[in-house]
Structure 1
């Protein structure tokens, strides 16, 4: 998580293209791990743990609109 926090310039779509997962995926895995340990955590709490702030705030500050090249690469990866 520290690595992702240190590299906010890396967009989620780039992570999906490169590694088939993104910060939101990490939040879902975090939430599932909590459930396995009988720890109640909802998706918003999990995303706050992953993003280091509420998702809406992170999105406003750091998320850029996907470029045509990113969208093309993402779609190609899905096939």
Structure 2
């Protein structure tokens, strides 16, 4: 496989991941952090870091809007739920590993 094809496939997979996360707004970031060790905010930071490596100016708010599909504050107001004590305990347990 040539490099351009690999880049195109990786880009398509990333877009599909974002679409999947958009379709699963019920999955909270804390759930992702507990189970997978990353969340939507992590993806935003990784996107911002990749842009920086290429000399492209993308700030955190822009990156989060790309990942969340809307401004972060809007997504948070509409979809983010308060973490339960069980979620917080599970998250803390993952941080000790």
- Structure with greater contact order relative to length (CA < 8 Å, sep ≥ 6): 1
- Following superposition, the deviation at residue 36 of structure 1 comes to 1.1
Residue aligning to 2:79: 62
Q: Identify unmatched segments of 5+ residues in structure 1.
A: none
- Poorly superposed stretches of 4+, deviation over 2 Å: none
Residue aligning to 1:18: 35
Which of 16, 25, 28 is 2:45 aligned to?
Answer: 28
Which of 51, 64, 73 is 2:68 aligned to?
Answer: 51
Deviations 1:34-76 (A, max 9, x none): 1111111000000000000000000000000001110110011
- Structure 2 CA distance, aligned partners of 1:33 and 1:49? 14
- Structure 2 CA distance, aligned partners of 1:77 and 1:26? 19
TM-score, with structure 2 as normaliser: 0.80
Paired residues in the alignment total: 79
Q: Identify unmatched segments of 5+ residues in structure 2.
A: 1-17
Residue aligning to 2:88: 71
TM-score, with structure 1 as normaliser: 0.98
SS of the residue corresponding to residue 44 of structure 2 reads: helix
The structure number with the bigger radius of gyration is 2
